[in-house]
Structure 1
Amino acid sequence: MSAIPVFAGPPLLGLNLRFLRDPIGMFSQARRDHGDVVQLDLGLAGPLHAVFHPEGVKRVLMNGRRTHRQLLRELLGKGLFTSPSGDDWGRRRRLLTPLFRAERLAAMTPLLLGPLDEALDTRWRTGERIDLATEMKRITVAMMVEATFGTGADVDRTAARAALDFLLGYVDHQLFTFATAPRSWPTPANRRYRTDIAALRRIIGDALVARTRRPGTEPTFLDGLLEHRAGFSDEELVDEVLSIFIAGTETTGTALVWALHLLSLNGEVAEQLRAEVDDVVGQQDPTGDLLRKLRVPRAAVRESLRLYPPAWALRRVLDEPLDVGGHVLPAGARTIVSSYVTHRHPDVWSTPDAFLPERWLSGEERHRFAYFPFGAGAHQCVGNTFAQLEGDLVLTRVAQRFRLDPLPNQPTGTKPAIALTPVPAPTPLLMPV
């Protein structure tokens, strides 16, 4: 066994400031300069071990323990998204898994299409620029509200959307800002957080009590939770809805920003997508069987997720020593894997920095852990199929109506938060197809 290479920083402080300011750049340099297993020097905070090759990622994710997300649990409750590994996590996972089966999600597409069409009809105008970050957040929040409550539910959708929209930004700020005011302080943001989280929990709780599914209506997430609720209290079900809201809006909305931005920069791919949509769907509503027949939108979403994965880094703790690539990580080691770096690993991906959706159409086989935009192993995001469905639907509907021209010479960097966010936000010009 060989010694683990060390990526060192200044005495006492180590790489902490860089970790806060530019974790993506730090991880990329660590792999480039030191290899696939690296000990990151975090000064007085102790070492953090990073693993980048797919086989090493597999060993870490299969053997490591997901750590307790205390801050998220304080903010959002004890849902699946905020739960650490263990029996309670497994119980919650079994509750949510049936909600995301492919046939069930396919039946939900009319619910998702409604808020999407509302946005495209009222706010997207040919000849104007569109702020993709703002729009995709608004659209995915509205989609999630409809998918949860359904069209017939007596729910204050405006209040639910407004509360969820604020909470997404608040959680992001709490998790990824170096210094924040204690939540006990009566700042405007903290007061609104307490008001909005209480309002959203009340809306969800009231809907759970009142929910009665009418024959012939599309299934919703509430239907699924009530159908499989055995052993769960009302409060626990509310926690799970909040988990679905937060995990399923910020990550998916950001992934769609990247997908549409990359299509705007790659006109040939965008034209292939439009041609397939025109041939298979025409001007029909892209739901159910029609969506399943499309290949290019799905490939474009997968490729954008490869380049800019929402779950850009995952932490684990090792309870026992682990052999990774000829190095032994010690028991108790805090370990991190970065999908952003692994998705661009030159030993795994040809032309790794290029946007090439065709790589997903060739049938080429690759390591199972070479691609994990929503995590992998037992803790892979249960909602990844829902995210893919939303992506297919949005790209298809937009392709039916618009062509996106990018702002000339607009630089786009990344801001690691709950999801990997583009900065500045892309603002393409909407043109007729």
Structure 2
Amino acid sequence: MTQLPVRASLATKPLGLWASLKAARRNLLEILPVLAVKQPMVSGKVGVRWHMVMDPVAIRHMLLDRLDDYPKSKATKNVLKPAIGNSLFIAEGAEWRWQRRAAAPVFSHRNVTALAPIMTAAAEECCRRINDQSPKAVNLLDEMVGTTFDVIADVTFSSEGGFDVQAVHKAIDAYIDDAGKVSILDMIGAPDWIPRPGRLFYGSAIGDMKAVADRAIVSRQNAGARAIPDLLDLLLAGEDPETKRSMNIAELRDNLLTFIVAGHETTALSLAWAFYLCAFDQDVQDKAREEIKSVCGENAVTGDDVSKLPYVRMIIDEALRLYPPAGIVSRTAQSDDMLCGREIRPGDTVMIPIYALHRNEALWDEPDAFRPERFADRKAIDRYAYLPFGDGPRICIGASFAIQEAVIILATLLGTFRFTPIEGRKPQPVMILTTRPEGGVWLNAEPVT
């Protein structure tokens, strides 16, 4: 029997309210029923009516055709709004549309490509750190968090010392680690005005963090843009072409904080899982290394190389399929509808369990197996069966940034080291807000000769 990479334990029987709460606070993936990887839709009631949708046609209907009828769930907003306000990630309707139009140029192909040297430099610095640790085991999760953090700090603030980006990240991280856990009040559909325990004690840290960001924005407004604009400069210059509206300081700050955290957390997780998978299958790692050597030789991996490394990109795509950072996304239905022949009522929670969608037996051949080659022909994959960045108008605005960064970092490290697993140190996929490898990704790293 073919050995499979680690996977979450899905529920084999219906969970009641308390069992669901315990599972959700421990690992949200454990609330997913086994049926979710076998059927197009699963429904139930735990406090509120809920539906899990794994059918690409129904998902397209939600994310594209009836976008405004399926806004982000109240639970999601309750968790994140204290930290990132009414930013692009939270906003809905007209408020979201104008912000999206204003921010879109920030992530244009030209701007993203111009940031590639920063990604290359961070990847090479990571290699130096790993080399200093060799032959000791290395936690690739920690290394990827540090490396992608270096990238987002540099592209956001041009490495200036007046803004403590790390303090900002730690404040949001601390908030999410505890406040991000599902509350029983969320599960029973309690009104938003009832305080959620665990979300009451971060006001000071979050307030300090926002104040630091505000000062950085005002300082840059007074100093003017850099000769080579960074993310903050581009956001300050952003304007909705339809309304001519620009972001005020609060809107700039909330989106800046969103980009800082989301811009490195999700990519770091994807890379950590990719290294685990490469160590899991040495044949894949060897094939990737051959491609890297043929394209880059002894030279650094640059932005120009990204499109010439299709197999490295396939590894990233397959890691995102098996361990999507956003393992479950949740919406609240606003009007009567039908999905997969089932009635949807206003107030119903409608989830797209991306972890289960990406492993659904009706959509994927050997869904639990690690097979990067399945992405050799992207057109053969149903667009709404693979959603690591979402889709429709609300597809992740930084997707191209994340892919470019992931390919450069993965290729740089695979071209420098051979990674092998450590007995007894398998990571476990655990989702609170993102799908993290619990226990870290501990691997042996040996220089390639």
TM category (shorter chain) comes to: 0.7 to 0.9
**For the aligned residues, what is the CA RMSD?**
2.4
Aligned counterparts of 1:60 and 1:14: Cα–Cα separation in 2: 29
Structure of greater relative contact order (alpha carbons < 8 Å, 6+ residues apart): 2
The 3-state SS of whatever aligns with 1:82 is: coil
The 3-state SS of whatever aligns with 1:319 is: coil
The reply on whether 1:360 has 2:381 as its aligned counterpart is no
State the AA in 1 paired with 2:43: Q
Structure 2-normalised TM-score? 0.85
Counterpart position of 1:80 = 88
Report Cα offsets for 1:107-164 as digits up to 9, x if no partner: 111122233322322354331211122111111111101111225xx4336x222332
The 3-state SS of whatever aligns with 1:47 is: strand
Residue ranges of structure 1 left out of the alignment (5+ in a row): 1-6
Equivalent position to 1:90, from 85, 93, 97: 97
Note the C-alpha offset of 1:204.
Answer: 4.1
Note the C-alpha offset of 1:25.
Answer: 3.2
Range moving further from structure 2, 366-375 or 162-171? 162-171
The reply on whether 1:148 has 2:156 as its aligned counterpart is yes
Given that 1:149 and 1:207 are in contact with CA atoms closer than 8 Å, whether structure 2 keeps it comes out as: no
Range moving further from structure 2, 99-108 or 17-26? 17-26
The reply on whether 1:429 has 2:444 as its aligned counterpart is yes
Equivalent position to 1:203, from 210, 213, 216: 216
State the AA in 2 paired with 1:171: I
Counterpart position of 1:3 = none
Counterpart position of 2:166 = 161
Aligned counterparts of 2:213 and 2:24: Cα–Cα separation in 1: 34
Note the C-alpha offset of 1:272.
Answer: 1.0
Q: 1:177 to 1:396 in 2, by over 3 A?
A: same
Aligned counterparts of 1:269 and 1:182: Cα–Cα separation in 2: 43
Counterpart position of 1:228 = 238
Given that 1:53 and 1:345 are in contact with CA atoms closer than 8 Å, whether structure 2 keeps it comes out as: no
State the AA in 1 paired with 2:435: L
The 3-state SS of whatever aligns with 2:180 is: helix
Residue ranges of structure 2 left out of the alignment (5+ in a row): 1-12, 185-195
The reply on whether 1:289 has 2:304 as its aligned counterpart is yes
Report Cα offsets for 1:283-323 as digits up to 9, x if no partner: 22222222221111111101100000011111112222222
Counterpart position of 2:139 = 131
Aligned counterparts of 1:397 and 1:352: Cα–Cα separation in 2: 28
Q: 1:288 to 1:26 in 2, by over 3 A?
A: same
Q: 1:148 to 1:22 in 2, by over 3 A?
A: closer
State the AA in 2 paired with 1:81: F
Aligned counterparts of 1:60 and 1:113: Cα–Cα separation in 2: 38
The reply on whether 1:103 has 2:75 as its aligned counterpart is no
Q: 1:363 to 1:319 in 2, by over 3 A?
A: closer
Aligned counterparts of 2:36 and 2:45: Cα–Cα separation in 1: 14
Report Cα offsets for 1:26-62 as digits up to 9, x if no partner: 32424257x32222331xx222111112222222333
State the AA in 1 paired with 2:389: F
Report Cα offsets for 1:383-422 as digits up to 9, x if no partner: 1111111110110110221111111243322110221001
Q: 1:333 to 1:184 in 2, by over 3 A?
A: closer
Structure 1-normalised TM-score? 0.88
1:11-410 matched pairs, under 5 angstroms: 13=18, 15-31=20-36, 35-42=39-46, 45-62=47-64, 63=66, 64-68=70-74, 69-83=77-91, 85-125=92-132, 126-150=134-158, 154-156=160-162, 159-176=164-181, 185=201, 191-214=204-227, 217=228, 219-229=229-239, 230-231=244-245, 232-363=247-378, 365-410=380-425
Aligned counterparts of 1:199 and 1:95: Cα–Cα separation in 2: 23
Given that 1:81 and 1:247 are in contact with CA atoms closer than 8 Å, whether structure 2 keeps it comes out as: no
